[in-house]
Amino acid sequence: MDMRSRLNAALKTAMKEKDSERLTTLRLINAAIKDREIASRGEGEEVVVSDDDVLGILGKMVKQRQESAKAFEEGARLELAEKERAEIAVIEEFLPRQLNEEEVAKAVEEAISETGAESIRDMGKVMGVLKAKYTGQMDFGAAGPLVKAKLGV
């Protein structure tokens, strides 16, 4: 089952169960996907959003909510931070399992050997391989410094 079908099925279930918090989050996900479709229409492209695109959108949404929750905690707005964390939990149901630090390090090693990367100039190739294989499973912001360290910068 593709991502859109899974999301729509979860949306229908949330409606039937009258789970308003989950329903709100699922609607936010659908809105973000529709925004991407509309943006690609404006660029004259085909209007199909792939599962990889959806994974990218979901990853971005999780990161935004983590930053918001942190800001709310620092501002002593714990109820809002909890709301953000609840949204993260719903979004993460649709993401593949996140790789741990050891698995990320191994993936970086494999990508470097696969591309034959030798210097920082090859970092883009390595990151491209990682993004192709591990979209939604890895925080690329954390993987970037690891790639730099492995390439000797």
* pLDDT tens-digit map of 60-103: 898 899 999 999 999 999 999 999 999 999 998 888 888 888 88
Q: What is the pTM of this model?
A: 0.72
Q: Which fold has domain 101-150?
A: Arc Repressor Mutant, subunit A (1.10.10)
Predicted confidence band of residue 130 (pLDDT cuts 50, 70, 90): confident
Token digits of residue 124: 């883009």
Distance CA(124)–CA(128), nearest Å, equals: 6
Q: Which fold has domain 3-92?
A: Hypothetical Protein Yqey; Chain: A; domain1 (1.10.1510)
Domain ranges for the chain: 3-92, 101-150
